[in-house]
Amino acid sequence: MAAGFRIDALAAAVDRLASGRLAATLHGDASRQVDGVAPLAEAGPTQLSFLANRAYRMAAAATRAGAVVLAPKERQALFDGLSEAPTLIDCANPYAWFAFAAQLLAPDARVVGGVAAGAQLAADADVDRSARIDANAVVEAGAVVAAGCWIGAGAVVGRDARIGAGSRLHPRAAVLSGCVLGARVIVHSGAVIGADGFGFAPLDGRWIKIPQTGRVLIGDDVEIGANTTIDRGAMGDTVLEEGVKLDNQIHVAHNCRIGAHSVLAACIGIAGSASVGRGCQIGGAAMIAGHLSIADGTVIGPGTLVSRTIAEPGHFTGFFPLMRHGDWERNAAALRHLAELRARVRALEGRDRNGESGDG
């Protein structure tokens, strides 16, 4: 359990974490103690909450939270002159300030090194003494687990894999042989980093396996969701640059590259050798075909199949809209003959023009 913070100490700690990018001003009792976070409507006097969306202004005005972080304008509108307000933290980006504060208040914030019962560490694995290895985890030969890592119950670190400082593998995550994680990487349960890519050569109606000898290279501050899979490269490597965030149940095929700070929602599939730029945002269940590239800063809607290179950033979408089933049946039937319908309209236009010209 986190010990809690005085609000002024918390603000100082957030300022350090944010490297000074989040100026904040305290209003009210800065000596109050907070020990957790909660939504505005549920927070009590020892909890911190936040207002980042105007839809929650009523909840903010009525909150019993001990402290609230919010934009200066909102503070003035909602709390100016009130005597019984929570301690208020003015910040132009209240959601980011709240994120850092919540990290400091999280019960998991400190890792205590040690090896639990049933964990199997190969004799020549290099596991830092400050790392925590939970029950029945496995660290194979030649692997490196750096300072401050937390390897959860039943997780596997494969032969010669390297886990950077401060990283966390949640229970049953797997980082397979030779893969390399940067610092502060989070891998959620069931994720598999470094399974073989899907590569076969056809021969007489059969498929001959191409051994997959590349690695997965993952930059600092990447987060990988539960049951997401990232395949190793066929010969070269599969690369996730720093700050990439992947949600659950995503598939990243061999030799893909995902640019720094891109965010991918759940259930996305990316086929082999595709390249996603930096700062992209990809919606859930989108699918990206192989051997193409997507420009930096591109936004892809949910359920959208990207079948060609996107050279200039933009917002792209492509999913069939929701309909009542009967409407869908009729419209889908018409869609089967859409090209023909277009030809019929052209024919009508032609006759029309002929008629017009005939009139002239």
Identity of residue 94: P
The only residue of 4, 72, 142, 284 in contact with its own copies, by rule CB under 8 A:
284
CA–CA separation, 267 vs 263, rounded Å?
A: 13
Question: What does the block give as tokens for 38?
Answer: 């909660």
The answer to the question of residue 38 lying near its own copies (CB under 8 A) is yes
Residue 147 or 289: the one with the smaller Cβ distance to its own copies is: 289
Structure tokens of 176?
């397979």
User: What SS3 class is residue 276?
Assistant: strand
Residue position matching structure tokens 């100016």? 80
Decide if residue 207 touches its own copies (CB under 8 A): yes
Terminal CA-to-CA distance of the chain, rounded, Å? 88
Annotated catalytic residue, options 27, 170, 188, 254 = 254
What is residue 338's DSSP assignment?
Answer: H
Nearest to 22 by CA among 11, 7, 36, 34: 11
352 contributes a contact to its own copies by CB under 8 A: yes
- The amino acid that residue 304 corresponds to is T
- Which of 63, 238, 248, 273 binds its own copies (CB under 8 A)? It is 248
Contact 74, 57 (CB under 8 A): yes
Minimum distance of its own copies from residue 151's CB (angstroms): 12
- In whole angstroms, the minimum distance from the beta carbon of 83 to its own copies comes to 28
Closer residue to its own copies (CB): 7 or 256? 256
Region 256-275 residues binding its own copies, contact defined as CB under 8 A: 261, 263, 265-267, 269, 271
Residues numbered 110-139 forming contacts with its own copies, rule: CB under 8 A: 116-118, 120, 134-136, 138
Least distance from its own copies to the Cβ atom of residue 26, Å: 20
Spatial distance between the Cα atoms of 242 and 238, rounded to a whole number of angstroms: 13
Q: Which of 12, 16, 25, 39 binds its own copies (CB under 8 A)?
A: 39
We find the least distance from the C-beta atom of residue 254 to its own copies, in angstroms, to be 10
Query: Which amino acid, 104?
Result: L
User: CB of residue 34 vs its own copies: minimum separation in angstroms?
Assistant: 13
Number of Cβ within a 10 Å radius of residue 344: 10
- Is the torsion defined by CA of 143, 248, 271, 314 positive or negative? negative
Which residue's CB is nearer to its own copies, number 29 or number 242?
242
Confirm or reject binding of residue 54 to its own copies (CB under 8 A): no
- The enclosing H or E element of 184 equals none
Of residues 148-177, which lie at the interface with its own copies (CB under 8 A)?
152-154, 156, 158, 170-172, 174, 176
Active site residues per annotation: 254
